[in-house]
Amino acid sequence: MQTAIAAAGTGGRGRVTIADVARDLGVTKSTVSRALNGYTDISEATRLKVARAAERLGYRPLAHAQAIRTGRVRSLGLVLQIDNEDSARPFLADFIAGLTQAASAENWSVTIATAPTEAEVNTTLSRLVDERKADGFILPRTLLNDARVDTLRALEVPFVMFGRTANPRDCAWYDIKGEDAMQQATARLAALGHKRIAHVPGGPEYTYSQLRIEGYRRGLAQADLPFDPELIGSPATIRRAGFGATKALLSLRTPPTAIVFAIDRAALGAYRAADALGLKIGHDLSVISYDGIPEGAYADPGLTTFAVDSRLAGERLAKILTARIRGVAPENLRELAQATLVERGSDKPPQLTSAELARQIKTTLQCDVQWEEPK
């Protein structure tokens, strides 16, 4: 079908050119070229009209010729760090699907690379820039002080963050307001009757972790509950660390009856810790978390969580980055979205007070319970 359309659009001459698109629309080649390359002096209506005509006629730009003409290779870059236990991120498949589909819709491609350490991520970014493999980059899971941002600023290469950072200068971003989710989770548990509500944060180097702690504190204030530093657990992003954080919190003299986790994978570790003490999640201990990973639905009971639309995030980041590459100021490319509450069975009204829970745990521990950390 595409071959037939292309032949018709060129009088049987073969490959469709910009001149063919311009002739079809009755406009200049310059207008078509500027519309296809996203110049800001071309209106959105004209850009769409040209894009539809190009698609209808079967026009496909020659990548090398376009790169020479515009200085762009029409590729978005993504470098993933894979050195830690959190590298197999559940959101990744949907995220990349959204990213690549949105890029393809604009006739852009996506260059994906991996590196085992933070230093090698930065080396890879610089190499891809030097080799002209990408016109700009998406930076997932940003840090408070992010070396990737510093590298791309120094190279004067466009980028967009999936997250936020301490210094917003020259930064465009798309992010989910995890702080709002943590506030809502804490207030929700308080409304159920919980008075001792703990929080287990993510890694302290991540911006999202600090934001979610702030949200947790806002939730306590909203419910007129005092902030107790003792109820901030050790950072956790995986089950084993979530197990350890829950174990420590339940060992307090006045343990929490509910815990808000910054990360679903860490929250799943709380199930093993509760089980070791003969406690039931959703009865003796309530849990709410954040991410919406599929495993949460299969926990017993299912994990109440705030879910993120990873596919939509990939789509928005692709669109924001292409706009940034085309010259839109980063200050005009900052979007925040909300997570969606998924109600399951892990958060219920407390069946025990903190004092009663402490006595039950003490009795269980006197029976020589062995804490077995999850693998």
Q: Are 326 and 135 in contact (CB under 8 A)?
A: no
Min mean pLDDT across 12-16, 229-233, 304-308 is at 12-16
Between the two ends of the chain, the Cα-to-Cα distance in Å is 53
Cα(364)–Cα(371) distance, rounded to whole angstroms?
Answer: 12
Q: Give percent of the chain above pLDDT 70.
A: 88
- Encode pLDDT of 362-374 as tens digits: 888 877 656 666 6
Span 238-257, mean pLDDT?
A: 96
- Answer whether 2-60 and 75-176+310-337 agree in fold: no
Cα(105)–Cα(55) distance, rounded to whole angstroms?
Answer: 10
Span 306-324, mean pLDDT?
A: 96
> What does pLDDT average to over the chain?
88
Q: Which residue has the higher pLDDT, 183 or 372?
A: 183
What pLDDT does residue 371 have?
Answer: 61
**Helices (runs of H) and strands (runs of E) counted in the chain:** 14, 11
The yes/no answer on whether domain 2-60 falls in CATH 3.40.630.10 is no
Residue 297: other Cβ atoms inside 10 A: 12
Q: Does 350 sit behind a cis peptide bond, omega within 30 degrees of 0 on the bond before it?
A: no
Structure tokens at 277: 């003490």
Cα(164)–Cα(208) distance, rounded to whole angstroms?
Answer: 8
In this structure, the dihedral spanned by the alpha carbons of residues 253, 254, 260 and 263, taken in order and rounded to 10 degrees, is 0
Instruction: Name the nearest CA neighbour of 138 among 150, 126, 152, 117.
Output: 152
CATH architecture group of domain 178-308+341-365: 3-Layer(aba) Sandwich (3.40)
What pLDDT does residue 313 have?
Answer: 96
Banded pLDDT at 287 (limits 50, 70, 90) = very high
What pLDDT does residue 84 have?
Answer: 56
The class that CATH gives domain 75-176+310-337 is alpha beta
Question: Which residues partner with 80 through β-bridges?
Answer: 114
Instruction: Name the nearest CA neighbour of 78 among 97, 64, 59.
Output: 97
Span 263-291, mean pLDDT?
A: 95
Cα(352)–Cα(133) distance, rounded to whole angstroms?
Answer: 59
Q: Which residue has the higher pLDDT, 132 or 12?
A: 132
Integer-rounded Cα Rg, in Å, for the chain is 26
pLDDT of residue 134 exceeding 90, the answer is yes
* Helix, coil or strand: residue 353: coil
What pLDDT does residue 60 have?
Answer: 67
Q: In degrees rounded to 5, what are phi and psi of residue 343?
A: -85, 125
Could you tell me which residues come within 8 angstroms of residue 338 by beta carbon, excluding any fewer than 6 positions away?
Answer: 176, 177, 180, 181
pLDDT of residue 244 exceeding 70, the answer is yes
Q: In degrees rounded to 5, what are phi and psi of residue 334?
A: -130, 115
- Encode pLDDT of 31-71 as tens digits: 877 887 767 778 888 888 888 888 788 776 654 444 434 45
pLDDT of residue 8 exceeding 50, the answer is no
* Helix, coil or strand: residue 121: helix
Helix intervals (H) in 139-177: 147-155
Cα(25)–Cα(267) distance, rounded to whole angstroms?
Answer: 57
Residue 41: other Cβ atoms inside 10 A: 8
Domain ranges of the chain: 2-60, 75-176+310-337, 178-308+341-365
State CA 87 to chain mean position distance: 13
Q: Are 152 and 159 in contact (CB under 8 A)?
A: yes
Structure tokens at 145: 């002080």
What pLDDT does residue 42 have?
Answer: 81
Min mean pLDDT across 12-16, 147-151, 265-269 is at 12-16
Element (H, E) at 48: helix 44-57
What pLDDT does residue 64 have?
Answer: 43
Span 191-195, mean pLDDT?
A: 97
Cα(235)–Cα(291) distance, rounded to whole angstroms?
Answer: 16
What pLDDT does residue 135 have?
Answer: 95
